[in-house]
Amino acid sequence: MMHRKFTSRLAATALGIALSGAAFAEPVEDTLTIETDDGEITLVTQAPAPAHLEGALKTIYSGWHFREDDTRGMQKDDFDNPGMVFVDRGMDSWNAAQGANGESCAGCHQGPESMAGLRAVMPRVDAKTGSLMIMEDYINGCVTERMGLEAWGVTSNKMKDMLALISMQSRGEVVNVAVDGPAAPFYEKGKEIYYTRYGQLEMSCANCHEDNYGNFIRADHLSQGQVSGFPVYRLKDAGLVSAQQRFVGCVRDTRAETFKAGSDEFKALELYVASRGNGLSVEGVGVRH
Ligand code: HEC
Ligand code: HEC
């Protein structure tokens, strides 16, 4: 892999990015085989880039490959993965009679296995309404319209617990987000945002996650910014982080006014970013530093 440089030296300096040869490292060679309650599962964390990324990336990597040994290790055993506590909480919420008339998710959907496969194709354009949906939209649709409750906050703990539970039902399935047909305009919009330079630092997602993955930014080994591992358990926050939240954090780091979590802009961005991971496994709940 070539050593790549930032186009803006000022931005690089401002962020304290050391761009010496020593500050580059290949993604770690490792295999993500996870000990689960019912045996082992091996995830695809590295794959040929999907056709629509031709000229941009040859190989796509899960963010897992850029983390340190102990962090990667935690994701190799569900017992050690702190995110599983939140999956359990999601399960309690799934079964709870919390609707205005005592409805539960389970009452209509049976077990959470009924959601198998969904995470792998999200975000997507809903066939009935034609609108772009992130998982949070589907959940809130049921919470408000079918359970008569106030919408859950897009980045609330309740929401993230449910994202974790539903995401786990697709663990190991290969991400296959549609980019054509009704998804095409959202894909284009997300792509435009991905390549737009924001903030005082004038940096785009691509400047960091396409041009500079492998380089170190302060102590962080820069990944390709994939969302296949989301929601992730983040050690720094001692809690779950959703993709929408991560986007807010990354844009804020460029010292820009950020779009809101759950905004049309970030929904389109999530579709685009997720599609850059077509071919990687859904990780259920990843572990990051
Ligand atoms: C100034 C550099 C920078 C920019 C610009 C930036 N990010 Fe990040 N991003 C980081 C760093 C550092 C991390 C943490 C280490 C890593 O996973 O790369 C990160 C992590 C992520 C992750 C988590 C990956 C994982 O597997 O845990 C995602 C997703 C992400 N970024 C998406 C984006 C998107 C989308 C944009 C544009 C809106 C963006 N980033 C802009 C620096 C940046
Ligand atoms: C009163 C019944 C009812 C309740 C309660 C309910 N849902 Fe739903 N849910 C539905 C129906 C009906 C659909 C639409 C199914 C379809 O279009 O095939 C749906 C769709 C969904 C979808 C999209 C599934 C897909 O494959 O497109 C998700 C995710 C979802 N619900 C999550 C939840 C969660 C989480 C809860 C509890 C907080 C919940 N639902 C509570 C009836 C319900």
Q: Which atom of ligand 2 is nearest to the CA of 128?
A: 17
> What pLDDT is recorded for position 284?
98
Same CATH topology for 9-80+174-288 and 84-168?
A: yes
143 lines ligand 2 (CB under 6 A): yes
Q: Which ligand gives the minimal distance to the CA of 213?
A: 1
Token couple for 46? 């590295």
CB 242 within 8 A of CB 232: no
Q: Which atom of ligand 2 is nearest to the CA of 146?
A: 1
Highest mean pLDDT among 12-26, 166-180, 250-264: 166-180
CB 75 within 8 A of CB 287: yes
The answer on pLDDT for 166 being more than 60 is yes
d(CA 17, CA 8): 11
List the Cα angle 275/175/212 in 5-degree steps: 50
Which positions are catalytic?
Answer: 250
Give long-range contacts, CB 8 A cutoff, 24+ apart: 247-253. 247/273, 250/205, 250/208, 250/225, 251/198, 251/199, 253/15
Q: Which ligand gives the minimal distance to the CA of 94?
A: 2
> What pLDDT is recorded for position 213?
97
The answer on pLDDT for 7 being more than 50 is no
The answer on pLDDT for 264 being more than 60 is yes
Cis before 50? omega within 30: no
The answer on pLDDT for 21 being more than 70 is no
Across 164-179, average pLDDT: 98
Pocket probe for ligand 2: among 87, 95, 108, 166, the residue whose CB has the most ligand atoms within 8 Å is: 108
CB 12 within 8 A of CB 19: yes
162 lines ligand 2 (CB under 6 A): yes
> What pLDDT is recorded for position 20?
41
239 lines ligand 2 (CB under 6 A): no
> What pLDDT is recorded for position 15?
55
Quick one: what percent of the chain has pLDDT higher than 70?
Answer: 92
Cα-to-centroid distance, 58 and ligand 1 (Å):
19
pLDDT in tens, 35-52: 999 999 999 999 999 999
Element (H, E) at 39: strand 39-42
Across 88-110, average pLDDT: 98
Residue 9: pLDDT band with limits 50, 70, 90: very low
* 3-state secondary structure string across 78-111: CCCCCCHHHHHHHHHHHHCCCCCCCCCHHHHHCC
> What pLDDT is recorded for position 242?
98
The answer on pLDDT for 180 being more than 60 is yes
> What pLDDT is recorded for position 5?
44
> What pLDDT is recorded for position 162?
99
d(CA 158, CA 152): 7
Pocket probe for ligand 1: among 72, 209, 228, 269, the residue whose CB has the most ligand atoms within 8 Å is: 209
Query: What are residue 145's phi and psi, to 5 degrees?
Result: -80, -35
What pairs with residue 41 in β-bridges?
A: 34
Across 192-206, average pLDDT: 94
pLDDT in tens, 208-262: 999 999 999 888 999 999 999 999 999 999 999 999 999 999 999 888 887 999 9
Cα-to-centroid distance, 63 and ligand 2 (Å):
30
Across 9-27, average pLDDT: 60
The two beta strands, 220-221 and 216-217, are antiparallel
Cα-to-centroid distance, 138 and ligand 2 (Å):
7
What mean pLDDT, rounded, does the chain reach? 93
Instruction: Please give the class, per CATH, of domain 84-168.
Output: mainly alpha
> What pLDDT is recorded for position 118?
98
Q: Provide the residue ranges of all domains of the chain, joining segments of one domain with +.
A: 9-80+174-288, 84-168
Q: Which ligand gives the minimal distance to the CA of 209?
A: 1
Residue 67: pLDDT band with limits 50, 70, 90: very high
Query: Which residue puts its alpha carbon closest to atom 22 of ligand 2?
Result: 138
The architecture that CATH gives domain 9-80+174-288 is Orthogonal Bundle (1.10)
* 3 state DSSP class of 25: coil
Element (H, E) at 41: strand 39-42
> What pLDDT is recorded for position 1?
38
Pocket probe for ligand 2: among 142, 154, 163, 173, the residue whose CB has the most ligand atoms within 8 Å is: 142
C-alpha dihedral (64, 65, 66, 67), degrees to nearest 10 = 50
138 lines ligand 2 (CB under 6 A): yes
> What pLDDT is recorded for position 253?
87
CA distances 217 to 64, 97, 129, 212, 246, Å, are: 16, 46, 42, 9, 16
Show the ligand 1 pocket: residues with CB < 6 angstroms: 15, 63, 66, 203, 205, 207-209, 217, 220, 222-223, 225-227, 229, 232, 243, 246-247, 250-251, 253-254, 269, 273, 288
